[in-house]
Amino acid sequence: MSQSSERAVRLPADLHARPAGLLSRTAAGFEAKVTFATLAKEVDARSVLSVMALGAREGSEVTVRATGRDAQAAVERLSAMLEVITPIEPAAPAQSEDSPAPALD
């Protein structure tokens, strides 16, 4: 008999490209079929493009569902990863060629 497990997580930040890639690679390491779901849609967790297309924003609830031999482990690991997503850090402003280099005291 196939195991199944699910857990809902409230996102601390938007689900952007970097964590989507990490989540997809992690999901691919499990035998279980894993999905992420919001109220609007459910996607295959192994597809980085699908995970990004989920459009999950800070404060939204994402449900991790898995079915298969290692379903419980998959849900636990991926839920833990979703709980610690950090916001995108703004890029440092580009330094113009006219600006002097900072001192290296």
Active centre residues (catalytic): 16
Q: Degrees (nearest 5) of the Cα angle 85, 58, 83?
A: 35
Dist. CA 2–CA 45, nearest whole Å: 19
Structure tokens at 7: 């857990």
Give me the residues paired with residue 7 across strands.
64
